[in-house]
Structure 1
Amino acid sequence: MSELYGADAYSPAEIARRIESVGEAKARMAALPLALLGVLAGAFIGLGAMLFVLVKSDPTLGFAASAVLGGLVFAMGLLMVVVAGAELFTGNNLIAMAWADGRVSTAQELRNWAIVCVANFVGATGLALLVWASGHASLNGGAVGQTVVQIAVNKQALPWVEALLRGVLCNVLVCMAVWMAMGGRSVTDKAVAVVFPVMAFVAAGFEHSIANMYLMPLAMLLQHGGLTGHSAVTWSGMLGNLLPVMVGNVLGGAVLVAGVYHVIYKRPPNGP
């Protein structure tokens, strides 16, 4: 069947097998490299969010143009994760497929998610601190900083259910991007697979927990420095956003992508 997809791509069934094998390897990875790769992923996603803000701070762009172009540049973050190699909490929700097939224990899966999530936070907030100290937010007459704060304020104000559902929708698209990237053999293949789903979730305004770990701390740093004149974003407000978004991200990636594909490709032929 694989010949139908050409020599340069894996078939969907082959992708499922690769996702499961990679998930098992991720779940068994030693803590130190796992944590360091998690720090890198947090920083990579933060870099994508940084470019997104740069686009959104330009008032000459229309709504659709800024949304789509912002999503396009944000995709750089996930592409760096996929190609350069890093451990991203949202993408690692696909480990659930190896768990569902009994190749990974619940403890191993949760260990991976916990270490990677904390490391992503360190990487994203560390980048936020560097960006703040660099004076990047003063670009475009301070509009970049103002945009960061406004985005963070809007995220903080999201109702719990809305934040959760936006998290679900976001990680369906992120995990589909990772899934399709596993079907490619070249960097070009992976770039094409990643860009469009990521562009879609960003343009649609869905919620990515790791991106928020960059944007919301940066907004608080800018407020502390007095650049924007706002004082609305708080640690409790950030937590109120991250909790439902992370739950939504897990449901979208682990259930609606990994779970569904497990049923399709990995379910025993004579199973119930």
Structure 2
Amino acid sequence: MKIIKTFVYGILAGVSIAIGGTVFLSLDNKVLGALFFTVGLFTVCTFGFNLFTGKVCYIFESDWKFALDLIIIWLGNFLGAWLTGEALRATRISSISEKAISMCQVKLSDSLMSIFILAIFCNILIFIAVDGFRNNPHVPGKYLAIFFGVTVFILCGFEHSVANMFYITMAGMWSGKSLLFILVNTLGNAVGGVLIPLLRRCFAKESLTARIRYS
């Protein structure tokens, strides 16, 4: 039952991010598109859905079984983003696929190293957003963390793996190359997501060691 819930919540997170991506593709103003894209992470955090890019940030706070959960979550995110993209391609708003095609042509022509680096920076901001929502004691602060984190990563052109699953589906550009792109994007997101948590853990241990040494 837990596996099913994890997977279904992963699907719902994928759908949520895809809805954010739909808003972004529908608006010509990039700033407004980036701002309203935040509806995706807002929904995920508010309803407790399972988004890979958010959950991976806490992999070192859990046991090895959490790594298996992350795989299930990633697959759920993929399915949710793919289903949303395919469904929208069958509607009257399928015209936004033209913008998706243009975006994906640029993304898929980029080098894997570039994608990896851009993905790292993306998830540094995602961590700031989800950790702010998780730990900020003030409700306005929780949601400001989401809105600033997401808006900034989009305006910077950083790469979010789940959003790109939707864009590639909307563009109808799935291939071996695009799958490799997503895998590299995912790896970069994972690295970026754990970067700040690992550094905090390292410095926390150093501080504890220093206190013990001089006590």
Q: Same fold (TM over 0.5)?
A: yes
Match in the other structure for 2:87: 130
Contact map agreement 1:167 1:252 (CA 8 A) in 2 = yes
Instruction: State the alpha-carbon separation in 1 of the partners of residues 99 and 205 from structure 2.
Output: 45
Alignment of 1:40-51 (within 5 A): 40-51=12-23
- Does structure 2 retain, via aligned residues, the 8 Å contact 1:174–1:197? yes
Question: 2-side partners of 1:267 and 1:52: how far apart?
Answer: 43
Asked if residue 71 in structure 1 is aligned to residue 34 in structure 2, the reply is yes
| Residue 161 (structure 1) aligned with residue 161 (structure 2) | no
Name the CA distance, whole Å, in 2 between partners of 1:190 and 1:137: 34
How many Å apart are 1:74 and its aligned residue? 0.9
Q: 2:63 aligns with which of 105, 108, 114?
A: 105
CA distance in 2, matches of 1:37, 1:189: 25
Q: Percent identity?
A: 27
Residues in 1 aligned to 2:205 and 2:77: alpha-carbon distance in whole angstroms: 30
The structure 1 residue matched to 2:141, chosen from 189, 197, 204, is 189
What is the alpha-carbon distance in structure 2 between the residues aligned to residue 94 and residue 246 of structure 1? 12
Give the SS at the match of 2:90. helix
Tell me which residue corresponds to 1:243: 183
Superposition pairs for residues 15-94 of structure 1, below 5 Å?
A: 30-55=2-27, 58=28, 66-94=29-57
Partner AA of 2:44 in structure 1: V
Query: Hey, what's the Cα distance between the residues in 1 that align with 2:203 and 2:50?
Result: 26
The SS at the match of 1:269 is helix
Q: Distance in 2 between matches of 1:71 and 1:253?
A: 20
SS at match of 1:96: helix
Distance 1:84 1:166 in 2: 28
Contact 1:92 1:113 in 2 (8 A): yes
Instruction: Please state how far the C-alpha of 1:67 moved relative to its aligned partner.
Output: 3.0
Listed as ranges, the matches of 1:202-221 within 5 Å are 202-220=154-172
Superposed CA deviations along residues 159-215 of structure 1, whole A, max 9, x for unmatched, are 000000000000000111001111235654322110011101001110000001111
The separation in 1 between residues aligned to 2:44 and 2:19, in whole angstroms, is: 11
> Of Structure 1 and Structure 2, which has the larger fraction of its residues in helix?
2
Q: Structure 2 stretches of 5 or more lacking a match?
A: none
Partners of 1:97 and 1:145 lie apart in 2 by 38
Unaligned runs of 5+ in 1: 1-28, 59-65, 99-103, 139-143, 221-232
- Return the alpha-carbon distance in structure 2 between the equivalents of residues 130 and 109 of structure 1: 31
Residue identity in the other structure for 2:208: P
Q: Which of structure 1's runs of 4+ aligned residues deviate more than 3 A?
A: 184-189, 264-268
For residues 94 and 206 of structure 2, what CA distance do their matches in structure 1 show?
A: 50
Question: What is the deviation of 1:234?
Answer: 3.7
Contact 2:89–2:97 at 8 Å: present in 1 too? no
Most deviating of 127-136 and 198-207: 127-136
Q: Does 1:262 align with 2:212?
A: no
Rounded Cα–Cα distance in structure 2 between residues aligned with 1:262 and 1:175: 15
Deviation, 1:136, is: 1.1
The Cα shift of 1:261 comes to: 2.4
Max radius of gyration: which structure?
1
| Corresponding residue pairs, total | 211
TM-score normalized with structure 2 length: 0.91
Cα distance in structure 2, aligned partners of 1:244 and 1:132: 26
Q: Could you tell me how far 1:135 is from its partner in structure 2?
A: 2.1
| Contact preservation (8 Å) 2:59, 2:67 | no
